[in-house]
Amino acid sequence: MEAAAPAGGGGGGGGRWCVVTGGRGFAARHLVAMLLRSGEWRVRVADLPPAIALDRDEEEGVLGAALREGRAAYASADLRDKGQVARAFDGAEVVFHMAAPDSSINNFHLHYSVNVDGTKNVIDACIHCKVKRLIYTSSPSVVFDGIHGIFDADESMPYPDKFNDSYSETKADAEKLVMRANGRDALLTCCIRPSSIFGPGDKLLVPSLAAAARAGKSKYIIGDGNNCYDFTYVENVAYGHVCAEKTLSSEDGAKRAAGKTYFITNMEPIKFWEFMSLILEGLGYERPSIKIPVSVMMPVAHVVEWTYKTFSRYGMRVPQLTPSRIRLLSCNRTFSSSRAKDQLGYEPIVSLKDGLKRTIESYPHLQAQNQRSISKASIFLGNGNFAKTVLWEDKKQTMTVLLLLAVIYYHLFTCGYTFITAMSKLFSLTALFLFIHGILPSNLFGHKVEKLEPSNFHISQVEAHHIAHSVSSTWNSLVGVLKSLCRGNDWPLFLKVVSSLLVVSILSSMSSQSAFKIGISMVFLGFKAYEKWEDTIDNLVGDACSVVMHFGPSQKSSRQKHADN
């Protein structure tokens, strides 16, 4: 669905217009819905995309209905473009400034351009468009230095001399701008600092936890596990913004709240790792239990961050393990909402327990029992009995096959037989096994003996056709690989082919005895390891391919320039 922002606050119906910047963000969506449900506001949703794309729930919900009825509109606006911001604010009485870049990307230029320069444009546009009230969404991280824990801090806590990351530093700079703008041309401002937001619609915390649990990484606790946090349910964050706007709209309230900052929490501090455990348990995963000291994790995080800074220009993904994140996971971070309660009339409208319940219920697709159990390794191995054997899914079958391979190894290599003698002895043993198995009764000492039917060794025409089709498909796939290599522009494919041939070359240079041992170990341990850490391995391969692709075309173009000269 698309809707343009009406000039001068146009559109159908009555009511005053307000603007929510970053209106397609996680918390902002809940604020937009709350404002529309109140019936007091018509809401202009401002964000970067050229048009608004609604989820199915939004299409059928309050936002979809409001867009169709003219009680809501969409404005495409980049905060770094003053003209776009001014057009989005035209005719608005109130602006809720919630837009901000991803806090996990430690990119000072990006954060400064959006958080600081963008906020300057927001303030100028508010004054130009005669907006009456500006409520800015800040962060508790503006008072966190990344080293010392924070326990029950209030708004008197000063900014640190050094911030934990560029996001926190630029949010603090923006907060100062908003507070200094209070009173300019009758503009009233205040800043909301919501702590650790969670709830339905979150695309970071819960999905990341579920992904870590599936990869077997959620069992670890960084630090001693006793650090406390203030988490805030997203509806309470939206309600805090509404309380701030209502307070500023009255004369007495404006005297109390204008130009001030407010911590917003659920007012229920909880141990950080207990909160994570409750979410994981609710999704059907195990609680984290293995504690890793911060002193062990921090050097690793510094190496990861250095690697990212070095290779990010070649397409390396933003890592999850960074020093600033380690500090966030291991420090106390609790804040007092007493000022918000006393001056804004804020109190949580959803308890932490109910918020957790609603959050977990909103992610049925992330429940452990609903996760797709078929791994890439299983798909590669044919997703049948062979895959179950190699991936240790049927341990009895795997041990039987390994025992059989040990027998084969013994007869082929350790007995000193020639190859023909060894194979004849193996066939003799197989024939003896089949003969003895055939004469055994169907019930032996109370145990049922499964008989091997002749059909187990029979290949039907359909199966033969399927095998032939698989062989031909494999051949055609190899031909396709050859064609791609001949074009000379598929660097990831070239890297995979070279790596595969290198492995084959190494194995072929070994004795048959060594190749057998290493090959079997690689099959039964390598595929299992890939199944367990496939996301990490895929990311590493992807990063390597990105680096190769970066150098490949550049080298090619330089050769072309040289030829042209």
Q: Look-up: residue for tokens 């990344």?
A: 146
The residue among 549 and 304 whose pLDDT is bigger is 304
**pLDDT number for residue 432:** 82
Compute CA distances 343 → 133, 158, 179, 346, whole Å. 17, 20, 17, 8
* From 82, 130, 171, 451, the catalytic residue: 171
**pLDDT number for residue 441:** 80
Q: Which two tokens stand for residue 40?
A: 């007091």
What does DSSP assign to residue 300? H
What does DSSP assign to residue 414? I
Interhelix angle 26-38/234-249, nearest 10 degrees: 50
- Give the list of residues 6+ apart from residue 410 with CB closer than 8 angstroms, or none: none
Stretch among 32-41, 56-65, 519-528, 529-538 having the lowest mean pLDDT: 529-538
- Give the list of residues 6+ apart from residue 348 with CB closer than 8 angstroms, or none: 232, 233, 236, 239, 265, 266, 267, 268
The residue among 116 and 532 whose pLDDT is bigger is 116
pLDDT tens, residue by residue, 511-552: 667 777 777 887 778 777 877 777 677 777 766 666 655 655
**pLDDT number for residue 172:** 97
Q: Is pLDDT of 165 > 70?
A: yes
Q: Are 151 and 228 in contact (CB under 8 A)?
A: yes
Average confidence (pLDDT) over 158-167: 92
- Give the list of residues 6+ apart from residue 253 with CB closer than 8 angstroms, or none: 246, 247, 343
pLDDT tens, residue by residue, 317-371: 667 778 878 888 899 999 999 999 999 999 999 999 999 999 999 999 888 876 5
pLDDT tens, residue by residue, 135-155: 999 999 999 998 899 999 999
Q: Which two tokens stand for residue 472?
A: 């031909």
The residue among 449 and 495 whose pLDDT is bigger is 495
pLDDT tens, residue by residue, 357-373: 999 999 998 888 765 44
**Residues of the chain above pLDDT 90, percent:** 49
**pLDDT number for residue 565:** 44
How far, in Å, CA of 288 to CA of 209, rounded? 11
Average confidence (pLDDT) over 391-408: 79
Compute CA distances 388 → 301, 347, 401, 518, whole Å. 36, 54, 11, 20
**pLDDT number for residue 466:** 60
Average confidence (pLDDT) over 62-70: 96
**pLDDT number for residue 201:** 93
Instruction: Provide the whole-model pTM.
Output: 0.67
How far, in Å, CA of 324 to CA of 331, rounded? 11
Average confidence (pLDDT) over 168-197: 97
Stretch among 8-22, 25-39, 268-282, 446-460 having the lowest mean pLDDT: 446-460
How far, in Å, CA of 298 to CA of 327, rounded? 9
Residue spans of alpha helices (H) in 223-339? 234-249, 251-257, 272-282, 294-311, 323-330, 338-339
Place 563 in a pLDDT band, splitting at 50, 70 and 90.
very low
Average confidence (pLDDT) over 31-45: 97
Average confidence (pLDDT) over 474-495: 73
- Annotation says 130 is catalytic: no
Q: Is pLDDT of 4 > 50?
A: no
Q: Is pLDDT of 256 > 70?
A: yes
Q: Is pLDDT of 134 > 80?
A: yes
How far, in Å, CA of 359 to CA of 206, rounded? 9
The residue among 486 and 131 whose pLDDT is bigger is 131
- CB atoms < 10 A from the CB of 321, how many? 15
Rounded to the nearest integer, the mean pLDDT of the chain is 84
